[in-house]
Amino acid sequence: MEAGLHLPTVAVVTGAFLAVWLVIGLARWRRARPGFISVTDQATYETLHTASEAARHLADGFTDDGCERAAPYLRAMLATPGLAVCDTSSVLVWEGEGRHHLPSVVDQAAPVLSSGQTVVLGPDVVTCTQTDCPVRAAVIAPVTADGRVIGAVAGYGPAVSAGLARAAEEVAAWVATQVELADLSFERTRAMEAELRALRAQISPHFIYNSLAAIASFVRTDPARARELLLEFADFTRYALRRGGAFTTVREELRNVERYLVLEQARFGDRLGITLKIAPEVLPVRVPYLAIQPLVENAVRHGLAPKEGPGHVTLSATDHGTEAEITIDDDGVGAEPESIRKVLDGQSRADSVGLGNVDARLRQVYGDEFGLVVDTAPGAGMRVSFRVPKYSPALEEPA
């Protein structure tokens, strides 16, 4: 019986601003360029490419550097001679012509920042003594993220049309979405770090005690074996308590599983049988750090340790084309499917080492369809498996 609930995927949906940008793009691209079928194809490509470039620079949120780098693309979206981006207290960047208007931006944006409403300013407010300056009007739209105004996007030009006002609002809303996505990514990273800390705290105390007790039992009877186990224990704890990145390879995870099993066999002796079935193709695949060993430990600690007589654990790593599958089978005491379901759904804090933790982190990285799949029943052992894509943008850690 499968015991696992797939939680609903949380999707962040951007607004309908692309339609506005495409209209602007069509107006700017009067004729097709070589390689494109039509003017519409060219405009679509240019719009999506511009949005993609701007998004890349806003990946860290509403920062000075990010806004400065994104500003040329934001101005291209609005097709205005000048563009300003400000936060609640200062101008972060001016892009384009009319830079001498920069000192007035904060005062002109003040009503927007306080009310959260877009304003259109005419020549009576956007005054200029330079006859060749193209800036005579402005539209200023609020950037509202998480229910609060964090800044504004202002398009400056010779005049403001209804279409430009709408486009400014959509661009500001799009910037806000990028900021929220950046915040979500940051929070996800923090959550994963917290999950890892919790997992280390959960595994370490009981395993350290049992391992040291097993090593101590060999100190007098077999000093060489004790020394060998102590080195394995040191390598295991060094890996488990490391402060490196959130991801590693299947090869490194399996090496740490081997260390763990060597130490457990010293404790259980002939009661613990182990089979490894590893496809070489999956060894370089990147996976979340500590995604496999806790599942093997769960099989030993909760499946085999309570069982009378010998038990067996089979660890398989299988190649499935674009995906790799990890499976841990044990012939231990098994568990009630409903109790495992509650652990995976976060409704229970039952003492199942790592199951809920690993499941949560897999879903955070890859999506709900890549969570743990658990088959178990009382007295029937347990199979825990998960699949991971061989490549995922989520695994790209910053340098």
- Same domain flag for 228 and 148: no
Residue ending a domain, choose from 199, 228, 253: 199
Q: Is 20 part of any domain?
A: no
Q: How many domains does the chain have?
A: 2
Q: Is 357 part of any domain?
A: yes
- Residue 389, pLDDT above cutoff 90: yes
- Give the CATH number, domain containing residue 188: 3.30.450.40
**What value does the mean pLDDT take over residues 327-352?**
80
Q: Is 160 part of any domain?
A: yes
Task: Encode pLDDT of 257-308 as tens digits.
Answer: 999 899 888 888 889 999 999 999 999 999 988 889 889 988 998 899 889 8
Query: pLDDT-based confidence at 23, cuts 50/70/90?
Result: very low
**What value does the mean pLDDT take over residues 75-95?**
91
Query: Comparing 159-168, 191-200, 208-217, which segment has the lowest mean pLDDT?
Result: 191-200
Query: Comparing 2-6, 71-75, 96-100, 350-354, which segment has the lowest mean pLDDT?
Result: 2-6
Q: Is 52 part of any domain?
A: yes
- Same domain flag for 163 and 277: no
53 or 338: which leads in pLDDT: 338
Query: pLDDT-based confidence at 21, cuts 50/70/90?
Result: very low
- Residue 6, pLDDT above cutoff 60: no
Query: pLDDT-based confidence at 342, cuts 50/70/90?
Result: confident
* pLDDT (0 to 100) of residue 127: 92
- Taking all residues of the chain, what is their mean pLDDT, rounded to a whole number? 80
Q: Is 15 part of any domain?
A: no
- Same domain flag for 175 and 210: no
Q: Is 30 part of any domain?
A: no
Query: Comparing 46-50, 108-112, 345-349, which segment has the lowest mean pLDDT?
Result: 345-349
Query: Comparing 49-63, 180-194, 273-287, 314-328, which segment has the lowest mean pLDDT?
Result: 180-194
Query: pLDDT-based confidence at 348, cuts 50/70/90?
Result: low
Task: Encode pLDDT of 116-133 as tens digits.
Answer: 999 999 999 999 989 999
Query: pLDDT-based confidence at 109, cuts 50/70/90?
Result: very high
- Residue 5, pLDDT above cutoff 50: no
Residue ending a domain, choose from 199, 231, 260: 199
- Give the C-alpha separation, 275 to 7, whole Å: 33
- Same domain flag for 283 and 353: yes
Which of 252, 210, 203, 242 shows the shortest CA–CA distance to 355? Answer: 203
- Same domain flag for 215 and 151: no
- Same domain flag for 222 and 163: no
- Residue 241, pLDDT above cutoff 80: no
- Same domain flag for 160 and 216: no
- Same domain flag for 195 and 261: no
Considering only the C-alpha atoms of the chain, give the largest distance between any 2 of them, rounded to a whole number of Å.
Answer: 97
**What value does the mean pLDDT take over residues 66-95?**
91
Residues 6 or more apart whose Cβ sits within 8 Å of residue 138: 108, 120, 121, 125, 126, 154, 155, 156, 157, 160
Q: For the chain, what percent of residues have pLDDT higher than 90?
A: 36
Residue ending a domain, choose from 176, 199, 222: 199
- Residue 51, pLDDT above cutoff 60: yes
- Residue 325, pLDDT above cutoff 90: yes
- Same domain flag for 178 and 295: no
- Same domain flag for 74 and 186: yes
47 or 112: which leads in pLDDT: 112
- Give the CATH number, domain containing residue 373: 3.30.565.10
Q: Is 285 part of any domain?
A: yes
* pLDDT (0 to 100) of residue 132: 92
- Residue 11, pLDDT above cutoff 50: no
**What value does the mean pLDDT take over residues 55-76?**
85
Q: Is 6 part of any domain?
A: no
**What value does the mean pLDDT take over residues 89-103?**
92
* Structural domain span for residue 164: 39-199
- Same domain flag for 231 and 344: yes
- Same domain flag for 242 and 292: yes
